[in-house]
């Protein structure tokens, strides 16, 4: 496997973390629309925070699934096996939680408060776990770079 392919997954995942944070911002702005006065609401509605948040959620779901599969595929191609450890298991938990939060979309569109609360809680968990994933991934990338500099790797 070409050495540069080792970095597609980490770069994609850091981009995904940025998308998740931006989506959280859009979701927060969408929730504020329900709490402001009529004049402020009138100014905020054309910005379509809720619609943009929903569309970005679909992109996040797709990139999460592709990124997880790509990371496992790259690991398998490099090592001939998956490395069972916290990074893999937390990554799989993130995939499950992102899928679970996406499954709430129909209830969210119907304005169900229970779904909104669960959506926020699940996505808060996703951000915590995914933040840890980003940091543990940096350590993995550092190992790859160190291994590439040793004479045995050349």
What confidence tens digit (pLDDT) does each residue in 39-88 have?
999 999 999 999 999 999 999 999 999 999 999 999 999 899 999 999 99
Name the residue ranges covered by the structural domains of the chain: 3-153
Q: Looking at residues 22-44, what average pLDDT do you find?
A: 96
Measuring CA to CA, which residue among 127, 134, 137 is closest to residue 83?
137
With a cut of 50, say whether residue 154 has pLDDT above it.
Answer: no
What confidence tens digit (pLDDT) does each residue in 108-151 have?
999 999 999 999 999 999 999 999 999 999 999 999 899 888 76
Q: CA 86: distance to chain centroid?
A: 17
- The full DSSP string for 53-76 is HHHHHHHHHHHHHHHHHHHHHHHH
Binning pLDDT at 50, 70 and 90, where does residue 8 land? Answer: very high
CATH no. of 3-153:
1.20.120.1770
């Amino acid at each position: 496997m070409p050495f540069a392919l080792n970095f597609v997954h980490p770069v994609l995942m850091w981009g995904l973390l940025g998308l998740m944070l931006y989506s959280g911002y859009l979701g927060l702005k969408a929730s504020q629309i329900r709490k402001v006065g009529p004049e402020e609401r009138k100014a905020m509605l054309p910005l379509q925070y809720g619609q943009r948040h929903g569309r970005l959620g679909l992109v996040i779901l797709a990139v999460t699934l592709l990124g997880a599969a790509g990371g496992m595929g790259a690991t398998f191609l490099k090592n001939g096996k998956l490395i069972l450890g916290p990074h893999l298991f937390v990554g799989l938990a993130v995939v499950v939680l992102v899928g679970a939060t996406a499954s709430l979309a129909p209830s969210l569109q119907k304005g169900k408060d229970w779904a909104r609360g669960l959506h926020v809680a699940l996505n808060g968990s996703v951000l915590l776990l995914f933040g840890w994933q980003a940091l543990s991934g940096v350590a993995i990338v550092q190992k790859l770079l160190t291994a590439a500099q040793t004479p045995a790797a050349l």
